[in-house]
Structure 1
Amino acid sequence: MIDTLDYEKVPAGFTHCFNGTCKLADTCLRYQAGRHIPETKRSIRTLNPSYVKTKESCSEFMSDVPVKHAYGWTHMFDKLIHEKAVAIKDELLCHYGKSEFYRLKRKEKSFTPRAQQYVRSVFRRYGVTEEPVYEQYRYEYVWWKD
């Protein structure tokens, strides 16, 4: 259960839940965000209370456990052989697109755990056994489903 939540970090359009009888409510980010809505918030997006049933699983459940996000990759390729660094950069650029690729570099967007795994798999495909090096790590909630 989340005791305090900086509601400013809840993205616009995030879907809240108010089903307090759900067995998953204590660990669900949607329910926990709903508990911390400030009085000044005029409207929010919410799940239909009739849709969500109290049961063992819920298709809309999102864990309220923060996960490790990585930011920035300015020095990620410093220790790699030039040819491999260029090939890996090209593959990541194709995968993410130019805009997102540079947003990731400038720390405007994070590498989620899933994105970190993808980068690691690209490194392995090119025979690089070292772990990718990011500039910063922060534990954050995952606000969107992959």
Structure 2
Amino acid sequence: MEDTFDYRDVPGNFGHCAATACDKADTCLRHLALRHASADLAFLSILNPRRQEAMKGKCEFYLSAAPVRYAKGFMRTLNAMPAGSVRTFRYRVMAWMGRKNFYLTRQGNRLLSPDEQQYIVKAAKALGLELDDYFDGYVLAHKWR
């Protein structure tokens, strides 16, 4: 994933790490972000080196640089659902993720994390819907939190 890393995807408040001696530096998203930071950026949020030393190799801020598979939209699920179940499904998912997020994610304007994907599948199955795939598409991206 490093070959296609785009620093523009890094959130503005993301903490970077400059610990090159760390065992996990090569697989850490925080270190990867720092390596790809442009020289045009004068200031970055960086993990305090003293804090890093105090952790003695057991970093509590480590984030894996491995890409995560996010789902994009679940209109396939809604369209396959019996008409009598759509309302119940919609209300259950809205109660869990909120109205705004429901509408953003169903069309694919907001990506669904693996945990959110499991919830959608569980909610659909609870209403008797069995599909091979519940989502409209997938995207590989870094997990920034």
TM range (shorter): 0.7 to 0.9
Contact 2:13 2:45 in 1 (8 A): yes
RMSD value, Cα = 1.8
Relative to structure 1, the CA distance from residue 16 to residue 140 in structure 2 (aligned partners, 3 Å threshold; closer, same or farther) is same
Q: Who is 1:84 aligned against? A: 85
User: Cα distance, 1:36 vs. partner?
Assistant: 0.7
Secondary structure of 1:75's partner? helix
Q: Size of the alignment, in residue pairs? A: 143
User: Cα distance, 1:94 vs. partner?
Assistant: 1.3
Separation (CA, whole Å) in 2 of partners of 1:122 and 1:132: 14
Matched, 1:114 2:109: no
Q: Who is 1:141 aligned against? A: 142
Partner deviation per Cα, 1:83-113 (whole Å, 9 max, x = no partner): 2222111111111111111111232210011
Q: Who is 2:104 aligned against? A: 103
Choose between structure 1 and 2: higher strand proportion. 1
User: Cα distance, 1:131 vs. partner?
Assistant: 4.9
Separation (CA, whole Å) in 2 of partners of 1:71 and 1:42: 35
Relative to structure 1, the CA distance from residue 123 to residue 4 in structure 2 (aligned partners, 3 Å threshold; closer, same or farther) is closer
Matched, 1:69 2:70: yes
Separation (CA, whole Å) in 2 of partners of 1:140 and 1:4: 11
Partner deviation per Cα, 1:30-84 (whole Å, 9 max, x = no partner): 11111110011122212111112342x3211111000111112223211221222
Structure 1 runs (4+) deviating above 6 angstroms are none
Structure 1 stretches lacking a partner, 5+ long: none
Contact 2:121 2:134 in 1 (8 A): no
Q: Who is 1:34 aligned against? A: 34
Structure 2 stretches lacking a partner, 5+ long: none
Relative to structure 1, the CA distance from residue 128 to residue 134 in structure 2 (aligned partners, 3 Å threshold; closer, same or farther) is same
Aligned residue type for 1:43: F
Separation (CA, whole Å) in 2 of partners of 1:39 and 1:77: 47
